[in-house]
Structure 1
Amino acid sequence: ATVEAMGADAAMFSWNSTGTGPYNVQYRPVGTSTWESFPNVINMGVQVNGLMPCTAYEFQVEALCDTITSGFGPSVLLEPPVEPVPTITLDNEEVFCEGDQVTLTSSAATNLWSTGETTASIVVDQTGTYTVDGLGVCDTASSAAVDILVLDFVLPTANDVNLPGPGTATLTATGDSILWYDVQLGGSPVGSGTSWDTPFLSTTTDFWCTNTEVFGGAVSYAGEPDNSTQGQYHGNGNNWILFTATEAFTIRSVKVYASGAGNRPISLIDMDNSLNVAAGTFNLPDGESRVQLDFEVPGPGNYGLRITSGNPQLWRDGLGSNPGYPFPIGTFGTITGTTVTGANSTAYYYFFYDWEVEAFGVGCESDRVQVTVSMPTGLEEHAGPSVNVFPDPADRDVFFDLSGYTGIGQVQVTIFDASGRAMATKPMLNGRATVTTAWLADGLYSYLLTSNGQPITSGRFVVSHL
């Protein structure tokens, strides 16, 4: 016999029988004592209406045979619908930087998020624990929690710079990792480091810097820390060590014991797809040493770390060493055994000891902080001193004639090329100076007139040889 819901308050109860009937049907809510009856049912099925929604019922049937009955058979249960446990999918990582976001999407048809939202998806940009309830007809099912961590960036600190006149400026900023930009948004970095020299500047110019901090990337160690006395320097690379990964990480280094100095080829193998993930040839000294691999394990899966030469002459622990498999690899994997088949799979330990492993970190670049390189205002439009520069373009010489300057002290003129290098300096006598340009390459040059280290005026001229 079977029973099938026909909406929220009805059901179809059906059965098979070798007799021709009629039949008696009875049903009741599970756990109650009083039966409701349908006597003398001709067909082998009956629709029952008026059921209480979201209530479990039991149904029974008996066949009538003249003056006797078969007796009621075992109960057939009608269970109320059960809402499946919803799952949450993400379109981004669970850990990300301030300014980013992740969309959480529920598998349920009707939802109530821990945030109070009732849409199928929500956008999250705040640290917190998020769940969703799937609202069924008769019950509610809660998802597993999703923990979101939003990493706050740290702004760099930087100061504006004042230049006495055209030239280069050294910009400085404090932070973990500084990048410099010449635009407020977009573009590519034009420099890096806590100290950076600008190109040659002839006007007030703005730059911007950011600070990048790396979160996570914790280092741990895995595998046998040292070799044992039970083993040998091995003469082939036919077998190797196996591990599983539950997330991406980096094998930074391993300890080895070599019989003889020389090159050894080492590979990281994707065992699921028989692919080389990373490989390198490493020159090892005789005896114990640490090999800097920097092999990136790309994500969950089964992997091997192996020697690919025929005669590595590296120590491997053998029978009787009793390696302590499985070895946890931090929180992101396990060293499980070797490629040796049969019962001896975990009886050997091949070549690579004391693994240094590092979790992938998350780098968060801050917003851009403006840094202004200022020139004295109105240098070229100064109401007082002015300079006449001729000829322009210049060939063999360029002449400077200063007027309107009432200051005290020697005035000198300095010539700069397009990169900001000082090419020539000449003192002025009675407000005049002649600078030889015959040896200068064709191009645009700038000049700066100063007295006692203070700028007076500046400008540009062209050198063009006839």
Structure 2
Amino acid sequence: MKKQYNLKTVFTIFLCVYTSGIFSQNIFHEYQDGKIWFKLKNEQAIALPKNHSGQDRTPYLDLPLNTLSFIQELSLKYNITKLSQPFVTIKSSQELLRTYELHFSDVGSVEEIIKEIIKSGKVEYAEKVPYNQLVWTPNDPQFVSNQWGLVQISSQLAWNISLGNAAITVATVDNAVQTNHADLQNAMWVNPGEIAGNGIDDDGNGYIDDINGFDVADNDNNPNPPSTQFSHGTHVAGITGASTNNGVGVASIGAGISIIGVKATGNNDNSNSITNGYAGITYAAAAGARVINCSWGGTGFSQTAQNIINSAWNSGSIIVAAAGNDNVSTLFYPAAYNNVISVASTTTNDVKSSFSNYGAWVDVSAPGSTIMSTTPFGNYANMSGTSMASPMVAGLLGLMLSHYPTMANNDVITCLLSTCKNINTQNPNYIGLLGAGRIDAYAALQCVDQAKTAPPTVDFVADITEACKVPQQVKFTNNSFNANTFLWDFGNGSTSTQTNPTHFYTQSGTYNVKLVATGNNGVDSLIKNMYIVINTPQAPTAIGDTICENQTATLIGTGNGTLRWFDAPTGGTLFGTGNTYTTPSLSVSKAYYVEDIISGNTANVGPINNSFGGGGYHNNGTSQYLVFDVLKPCTLSTAWVNANSSGSRTFTLLNSSGVVLQTVNVNVSAGQSTINLNIPLTPGTGYRIGGNNMDLYRNNAGVNYPYTLNGVLNITGSSAGAAFYYYLYNWEIKEDDCISERTPVEATVISCVGVEEFISGQIFLYPNPAKENITLEYVLKESGNIQFSFYDITGKKIINSEIVDGVQGMNKKQFNITSLSPSFYFLHIQKDNRKKIFKVIVSE
């Protein structure tokens, strides 16, 4: 993807040097040509050979195409050249063990290949592989200035608390790292599980002789740069952890930490691209890196990449990534993924660097303009970019962990973010778009230092605290600090020891929730009384039916809303709606279940239209969006728009990490109109909705965030900051329907044997329903005693039996039912041991 640089002369130099890399992606600029990732369904997974000590990952990097039959079938059609399992070393993640990478030379057919792979039915998904580039802006390599960034973040005061710990490892996943640089050689990690040069994977991690790191791109143990063009990673590594106080070159924020060098660009690849970044993250996590820095990225989303990030996080690594250098709010990956700290860049006066990306997805800012650090071979230079800001944060995290190695990752991140310097005054147009602020190393180390002796503090929140249906899923987020074990009590007899549990409430009620947290320095607990309120509508009443074999039954329900009929107490098949349900012909008795749905409230939020402030029609190719939080399950039903032209518009809903949740295509008329969206929303923060090339009106003045629908939804900002409001006005929000618990009701089938022996022809019962009298007409084959009895729906006889003398031929019998309350009843007609049953409905 083409990059923009700040200095015209620099741009010219790099345009010449990196032209092939910038424009090499011919099909999709955000993705690598000729590569696809796909994940097998669990039942299709191939049993892998045991990866024991001494067996490396090499055999899995070039598998026979017939390993997967559906790939072999596609191989000739699309010139497939290679099949591999690049993440086979991650034994803890079954989803990554089932992930494959496909190489093919017919790069123009990527969409067709993806469709055919999915069509095979063997995979959960197939996707393009993201294209990642470095995010830096080099300055004159001969100009050596002081290290203003370290002064800005108060590193000298931080070093009074900790000078770093060589046992804490920070991985630099980049294009290369010069391991024997004078300022890096004593800071390089040495793998204690490997014996150098014996050609054996001694520690069994799948990588042979990875002494100081690994080259995942060329699959060898040499992470060093092949030429001076591969300078980026060495510069990044120096910012993170160059040897400090050694009388040589530069200092680093990490001071005495250790660096794992991970080369993720092949020797024959363009040095300004990262072709194997996610394989690099995989290796770094396997090597036990406490922190992993990624000073690269791109705008292409990948589920596989998110899975890799999740796996690294779950293994104990903190991932830090650069936010990008295009001065836009567009989501940039891996920085925008979940479980990644996204870093923007600032200058000497805490102003956002002119090149730095920004947005609600950014977590923190750090110095990134004109940063002095190491370069090959034994040199030093200034460079600028979020590439330089990111390792500043990674190194600080390493320093913090050096002071308190057993501190939980979430707590370390809490100290990092909570102690940042507020830079809103310096950046009035980027409030809320530069994360928690600019890092303050001294304040962060003070926070860690206090945590070493402080008892734990407990806090938690739930995504839903009020609901009106069951079962109701509630996700709890643990915001406790300085604790390592937890015990939850959900107030309904259920407990959990998970850090962030999900619990299902199955009955109406008001529940107290308690969390007990235990840390190295004590115990703390918190009870939130009446915290979860599940208030479902009253269950409907229902009346069953008794029928003869192979007849239909009519079931009747009464409620306050719309009744729905099912065949199971939860889940099941929806058979019908309404106050009555007629079953199909039944040969045996069957239980049904009926629930009552009360329609949710509807209200509006957001400006009614665009008649406030200034603005105009916006048709930019860059995606712009509104940011909002959802507090209660609801649906975005409609919105008001003002279109400059008629035609189709695509609105995209994303979560806080940029994952596309839903797209809605709407035909819009020119001018002002209300459009239907019908997008279901679940509780969460940082949702985004918008699009590109919209040609719709947006305001750039007079905006007044937040726009609030109390307890339901808040529109909090936009991709371009607080001064802009994009596209969708006057949102109509419908709260989710309330659903009662289900009431069981029985369709009872009895044997009506022999009735045809004493009754011939049709039987008439009328009127039915009735209020006062009901008449029965029937034809007897022969005279004899006939017994009539009335029963209610519980089977209790409610009118004494009456015996009459029936005559051969037509008979008529009238019953007075004024003593019966409105309901269902059953009239039994019996002669000897033969019986006929009729349903009688007494109306109001």
Q: TM-score, normalised by structure 1?
A: 0.50
- Aligned-pair CA distance for 1:157: 1.8
| 1:363 aligns with one of 739, 755, 762 | 739
Deviation at 1:358, TM superposition (A): 3.9
CA contact (8 A) 2:754 2:835 kept: no
Corresponding residue for residue 699 of structure 2 = 317
1:143 aligns to what SS in structure 2? strand
Shift in CA distance, 145/108, structure 1 to aligned 2, threshold 3 Å:
farther
Structure with bigger helix share is 2
Aligned-pair identity (%): 20
Letter in 2 for 1:357: I
Question: Take 1:351 and 1:171, find their aligned partners in 2: how far apart are those partners?
Answer: 49
**2:555 counterpart of 1:180:** no
- 1:127–1:80 distance in 2 versus 1, CA, 3 Å: same
State the distance in 1 between where 2:658 and 2:496 align: 40
User: Contact conserved, 1:180 with 1:207, CA < 8 A, in 2?
Assistant: no
Deviations along 1:129-183, one digit per CA (max 9) or x if unpaired, are 3335668999763326261223345222233446699743433212234333567
State the SS of the aligned residue for 2:698. strand
- State the shift of 1:83 in Å: 3.5
Q: Which residue of 1 aligns with 2:648?
A: 264
Structure 1 163/232 Cα, relative in aligned 2: closer, same or farther at 3 Å?
A: same
Number of residue equivalences: 317
Kept in 1: contact 2:487–2:497 (CA 8 A): no
Q: Which residue of 1 aligns with 2:223?
A: none
User: Residue in 2 aligned with 1:84?
Assistant: 456
Matched ranges for 1:183-332 at <5 A: 188-201=573-586, 205-213=589-597, 217-228=600-611, 230-236=614-620, 238=622, 240-245=624-629, 247=631, 249-259=634-644, 262-270=646-654, 272-309=656-693, 312=695, 314-318=696-700, 321-328=701-708, 330-331=710-711
Give the drift of 1:294.
1.4
Partner of 1:57: none
- Residues 365, 272 of structure 1: alpha-carbon distance in 2 compared, 3 angstrom cutoff: same
Residue 539 (structure 2) aligns with: 155
Q: Once the 2 structures are TM-superposed, how far is the Cα of residue 218 of structure 1 from its aligned partner?
A: 4.7
What letter matches 1:254 in structure 2? Answer: A
- Please name the residue that 1:130 is paired with: 513
Matched ranges for 1:328-367 at <5 A: 328=708, 330-331=710-711, 334-340=714-720, 345-360=721-736, 363-366=739-742
Cα 1:184/1:363, change in 2 over 3 Å? closer
Inter-partner Cα distance in structure 1 for 2:625 and 2:580: 46
Whole-angstrom distance in 2 between the partners of 1:114 and 1:190: 34
Say which SS state the counterpart of residue 131 (structure 1) adopts.
strand
Letter in 2 for 1:316: R
Deviations, residues 257-309 of structure 1 (Å, cap 9, x unaligned): 2345x333132242754443222222334433211111234553434322444
Give the C-alpha shift of residue 226 in structure 1.
1.9
CA 1:199–1:308 in 2, change beyond 3 Å: closer, same or farther?
A: same
| Deviation, structure 1 residue 112 | 11
Distance 1:290 1:308 in 2: 19
1:381 paired to 2:742:
no
Structure 1 letter corresponding to 2:541: T
Indicate how the Cα distance of structure 1 residues 89 and 258 shifts in structure 2: closer, same or farther if over 3 A, else same: closer
In 1, are the aligned partners of 2:486 and 2:515 still within 8 Å (CA)? Answer: no
Asked whether the equivalents of residues 156 and 209 of structure 1 are also in contact (C-alpha less than 8 Å), the reply is no
2:457 partner letter: V
Q: Is residue 110–residue 136 contact of structure 1 (8 Å, CA) maintained in 2?
A: no
CA separation in 1, counterparts of 2:475 and 2:643? Answer: 51
SS class of match (2:585): coil
Partners of 2:745 and 2:484 in 1: CA distance: 47
Structure 2 residue runs of 5 or longer lacking an equivalent are: 1-450, 761-779, 787-807, 814-826, 837-844
1:145 alignment counterpart: 528
Which one has a bigger Cα radius of gyration?
1
Structure 1 Cα separation of the partners of residues 681 and 539 of structure 2: 32
Instruction: Select the structure with the greater relative contact order (CA < 8 A; seq sep ≥ 6).
Output: 1
Would the aligned equivalents of 1:177 and 1:212 in 2 still touch at CA under 8 Å?
yes
Distance 1:406 1:201, change over 3 A: farther
Q: Which amino acid aligns with 2:581?
A: W
CA distance in 1, matches of 2:714, 2:546: 57
Say if 1:237 and 1:298 are closer, same or farther in 2 by CA, change over 3 A: farther
CA distance in 2, matches of 1:306, 1:316: 11
TM-score w.r.t. the length of structure 2 is 0.30
Distance 1:110 1:167 in 2: 57
Distance in structure 2 (CA, Å) of the matches to 1:358 and 1:270? 19
Gaps of 5+ in 1: 1-78, 388-401, 409-429, 432-449, 460-466
Change (3 A) 1:346 1:155: closer
Cα distance in 2, alignment partners of residues 339 and 136 from structure 1: 39
> In the alignment, is the contact (CA less than 8 A) between 2:464 and 2:683 conserved in 1?
no
Cα distance in 2 between the residues matched to 1:193 and 1:161: 16
RMSD: 5.3
Measure, in 2, the Cα distance between the counterparts of 1:458 and 1:243.
69
What is the CA–CA distance in structure 1 between the aligned matches of 2:729 and 2:496, rounded to whole Å? 49
